[in-house]
């Protein structure tokens, strides 16, 4: 029960890595808000873990503010913020990615971190501390071809994590990131372009441990970084990637 008495928001918590993090946090004693564009799916996860569901478009300031109001109404205070919601463009030559797809990647992967900081950093400062975890990607460290703007968005998130960590450390607020390799999530097909045994085998050949990451892997890493066991760790972008970035 490493998170006993803690409260947390997990954006993009209705599926994939977000659902894995939400379930792990609840199992470790936290009260969890599952925030997602898909309210029905968020509610299903929340019901499973005894949490709270909230519809949220993380790229929209009003929606993020509504999430803040709902979380503080439900919990009274927030201890942990997980910026997990993410998206990608389909694999393509960089010049063939449309402005609409670029704007979507920018809004969900980058602007969301800014908007949640506006919403919750003042609250964390008032409470004397908190933990923020940004779910970045190995693509931000070792970019894959044809995912250039997605890679760039995750590199931005890693840099934002380090900048936030330095600025917020005096206030007792820790900020870390995890860099997953591709996993069995709704985004997997988008990363690969198409899902065939041949493409999966090619993808897996780049991961020394020889398997995709799982929601449970991300839940375990996130739990450690947001627990008191990691009280001296801030500004880290932990690769949870089976050796992909070596």
Give the pairing type, strands 7-11 and 31-36: parallel
Q: Which of the residues 25, 124, 150, 191 is marked catalytic?
A: 150
Q: What are phi and psi of 211, to 5 degrees?
A: -150, 160
Alpha-carbon span 5 to 28, nearest angstrom: 10
Alpha-carbon span 132 to 124, nearest angstrom: 10
Q: What are phi and psi of 196, to 5 degrees?
A: -130, 160
Which DSSP symbol is given to 145?
T
Helix (H) or strand (E) holding 159: helix 148-168
CA geometry: angle at 102 spanning 100 and 105, to 5°? 110
Q: Are 199 and 172 in contact (CB under 8 A)?
A: no
Q: Is 114 a catalytic residue?
A: no
Structure tokens, 27: 């199992």
Give the pairing type, strands 7-11 and 80-83: parallel
Give exposure, 67-100, as e/b (b: 16+ Cβ within 10 Å).
Answer: bbebbeeebeebbbbbbbbbbbbbbeeeeebeee
Q: What are phi and psi of 11, to 5 degrees?
A: -80, 150
Q: Are 44 and 66 in contact (CB under 8 A)?
A: no
**Residues involved in catalysis:** 150
């Amino acid at each position: 029960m490493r998170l006993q008495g803690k409260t947390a928001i997990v954006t993009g918590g209705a599926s994939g890595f977000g659902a894995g993090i939400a379930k792990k946090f609840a199992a470790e004693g936290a009260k969890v808000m599952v925030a997602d564009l898909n309210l029905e799916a968020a509610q299903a996860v929340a019901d499973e873990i005894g949490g709270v569901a909230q519809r949220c478009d993380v790229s929209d300031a009003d929606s993020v503010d509504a999430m803040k109001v709902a979380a503080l109404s439900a919990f009274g205070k927030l201890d942990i913020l997980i910026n997990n919601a993410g998206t990608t463009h389909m694999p393509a030559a960089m010049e063939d990615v449309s402005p609409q797809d670029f704007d979507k990647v920018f809004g969900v992967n980058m602007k969301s971190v800014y908007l949640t900081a506006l919403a919750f950093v003042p609250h964390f400062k008032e409470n004397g501390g908190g933990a923020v975890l940004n779910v970045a990607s190995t693509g931000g460290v070792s970019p894959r071809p044809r995912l250039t703007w997605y890679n760039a968005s995750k590199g931005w998130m890693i840099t934002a994590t380090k900048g936030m960590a330095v600025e917020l450390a005096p206030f007792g607020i820790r900020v870390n990131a995890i860099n997953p390799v591709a996993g069995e999530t709704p985004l997997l097909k988008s990363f690969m372009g198409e899902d065939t045994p041949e493409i999966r085998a090619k993808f897996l050949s780049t991961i020394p441990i020889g398997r995709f990451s799982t929601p449970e892997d991300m839940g375990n890493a996130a739990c450690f970084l947001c627990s008191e066991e990691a009280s001296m760790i801030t500004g880290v972008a932990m690769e949870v990637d089976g050796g992909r970035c070596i």
